[in-house]
């Protein structure tokens, strides 16, 4: 398994960087990490909510410590923001500029309508919570749209390790998702920062097998599929959200097409007066 990733390491506060967890995860074989922080989305109103999101940063002392471990130069620590959403509105326009400072943007739907809205947002990851599994309504076209746009669905294994009831709920959620996704664009992440519940990439892949994936696809949930999410993030930033991102799964090529707003703007462009004059002379 090449370059295992954990793209959802939770943080308790800006001051508590999960150093111990990451050091242990490096020993278990992980090489890419995303340190996450959450924010609640507030619907846009006439009185716009002002957001000021301070990013958790990796201390320089810890970066120096990582350089001393094996393959320390290959370890990547990224930043991530998870926006908790309900179906009342899309991600707030006033929040979006604040989100661009993060390497990864994830959306967490708290109901079925929020899940539908997030598929159309400029996010890299849709993280699913087993506590809201009965609120999600997976549809074939919905999942296909997310896959086409390069968005990955995330399941967190942390609760499965800590609690048997949570494990059963996560299995139910995973099996419902896999009916429509067929295992494509699915990743498994820890979703916590407890050393006690940390598991190696092969253990996580075995958990994906328990969810219903064949072993080959199970390994992709902590490797290639995660790297695809990172590529999606890089592409999203390079086009600054001005185009829709479409991923052609068949050949692995990512295409960029003009958004609907751009198409409408182009069709309503005012014709050049000089062109009218030329036609009149003819």
**Tens digit of each residue's pLDDT, the chain (282 residues):** 778 999 999 987 777 899 999 999 999 999 999 999 999 887 665 556 677 788 888 999 998 888 888 778 889 999 999 999 998 777 888 888 899 999 999 999 999 999 999 999 999 999 999 988 888 989 999 999 999 999 999 999 998 888 889 889 999 999 999 999 999 999 999 999 999 989 999 999 999 999 999 999 999 999 999 999 999 999 998 875 454 445 444 444 444 444 454 455 455 555 554 444 444 454
| Residues whose CB is less than 8 angstroms from the CB of residue 227 and which lie 6 or more positions away in sequence, other chains included | 3, 5, 32
Q: What is the pLDDT of residue 250?
A: 41
Q: Are 247 and 148 in contact (CB under 8 A)?
A: yes
Q: What is the pLDDT of residue 2?
A: 79
pTM of the model: 0.82
Q: What sign does the dihedral 41-174-224-59 (CA atoms) show?
A: positive
Show the DSSP H helices in 68-136 as ranges. 96-99, 112-118
Give me 257's structure tokens. Answer: 């097409």
Q: Which domains can be identified in the chain, with CATH numbers?
A: 5-281 (3.20.20.140)
264 phi and psi, to 5 degrees? -65, -40
Q: Are 188 and 221 in contact (CB under 8 A)?
A: yes
Task: Return d(Cα 121, Cα 123) in angstroms, integer.
Answer: 6
Q: What is the pLDDT of residue 202?
A: 96
Q: What is the pLDDT of residue 42?
A: 73
């Amino acid at each position: 398994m090449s370059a295992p990733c954990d793209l959802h390491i939770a943080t308790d506060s800006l001051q508590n960087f999960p150093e111990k967890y990451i050091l242990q995860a490096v020993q278990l074989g992980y090489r890419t990490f995303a340190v996450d922080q959450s924010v609640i989305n507030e619907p846009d109103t006439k009185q716009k909510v002002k957001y000021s999101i301070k990013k958790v940063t990796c201390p320089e002392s810890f970066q120096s410590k990582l350089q001393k471990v094996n393959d320390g130069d290959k370890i990547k620590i990224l930043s991530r923001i998870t926006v908790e959403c309900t179906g009342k509105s899309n991600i707030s326009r006033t929040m979006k500029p604040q989100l661009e400072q993060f390497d990864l943007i994830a959306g967490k739907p708290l109901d079925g309508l929020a899940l539908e809205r997030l598929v159309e947002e400029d996010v890299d990851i849709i993280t699913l919570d087993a506590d809201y599994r009965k609120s999600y309504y997976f549809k074939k076209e919905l999942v296909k749209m997310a896959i086409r746009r390069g968005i990955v669905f995330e399941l967190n294994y942390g609760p499965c390790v800590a609690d048997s009831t949570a494990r059963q709920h996560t299995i139910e959620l995973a099996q419902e998702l896999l009916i429509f996704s067929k295992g494509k664009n699915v990743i498994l992440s820890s979703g916590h920062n407890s050393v006690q519940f940390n598991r190696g990439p092969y253990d996580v892949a075995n958990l994906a097998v328990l969810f219903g994936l064949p072993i080959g696809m199970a390994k992709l949930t902590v490797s290639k599929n995660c790297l695809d999410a990172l590529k999606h993030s890089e592409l999203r930033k390079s086009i600054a959200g001005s185009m829709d991102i479409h991923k052609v799964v068949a050949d692995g090529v990512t295409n960029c097409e003009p958004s609907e707003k751009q198409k409408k703007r182009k069709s309503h462009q005012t014709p050049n007066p000089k062109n009218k004059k030329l036609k009149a002379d003819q």
